[in-house]
Structure 1
Amino acid sequence: MSYLWAFVVGGVLCVIGQVLIDLTSLTPARILVSYVVSGVVLSALGLYGPLVELAGAGATVPLTGFGHLLAQGVIDAVDRMGLLGILAGGFTAAGAGVTASLICGVAAAALGHPHDQN
């Protein structure tokens, strides 16, 4: 049943993004930023945590999940370190994922053979 919920929630998030691309004049970059910010806001309001409990990867893999990760990192760091946690929490929580994506990007660039697409 958890696979079904992951598929449904992840699919709904993707459908919302596609509808925004098709029916509005928003650029993809603005939609991506909106997803991250909405994840932060929903997490700060306590609404995204239950969605993560229900859908698992269907809620954590999309960009709203990255916003949720940042918000939870800040909340946890503020509890541990006080106001300094506002600056350090997001970096601590998302550091491993960002590092992994950078390493994969460098590896793909080193192993790939770039050429003009024309």
Structure 2
Amino acid sequence: MSDPLDTVFAALADPTRRAILTMLLEDDMAVSDVAEPFDISLAAISKHLMILGRAGLIVQEKRGRVKWCKLQPDAMRSTSIWMQGFGQFEPVNLEAFERFLAAEFGDTGGL
């Protein structure tokens, strides 16, 4: 997928990736902390993080020996602008997005 819009929508299509974004709304997290609540392998989480990174939704950086993940909310700006073209969508409001994700996936336990 070369279209950035396609890449963002494809990344958001998976419930695990949406749950990860919900967790990252709170704060940056170490990869191991991102993986902890999921019943999948660290390798699988790494693949999800790679997809989110390719979509520009997160960035990962090494701090010492730990890899950290950080949400990049501006990556959804083009998606929001595209949806506004239909006249029935408001710009992405991160607080509303957080509430939606919390309702969809439940409380992340303050992660």
Range into which the TM-score falls when normalised by the shorter chain = under 0.3
> Which is richer in strand?
2
TM-score (norm 1): 0.26
TM-score (norm 2): 0.27
Higher relative contact order, chain-length normalized (CA < 8 Å, sep 6+)? 2
> Which is richer in helix?
1
Bigger-Rg structure (1/2): 1
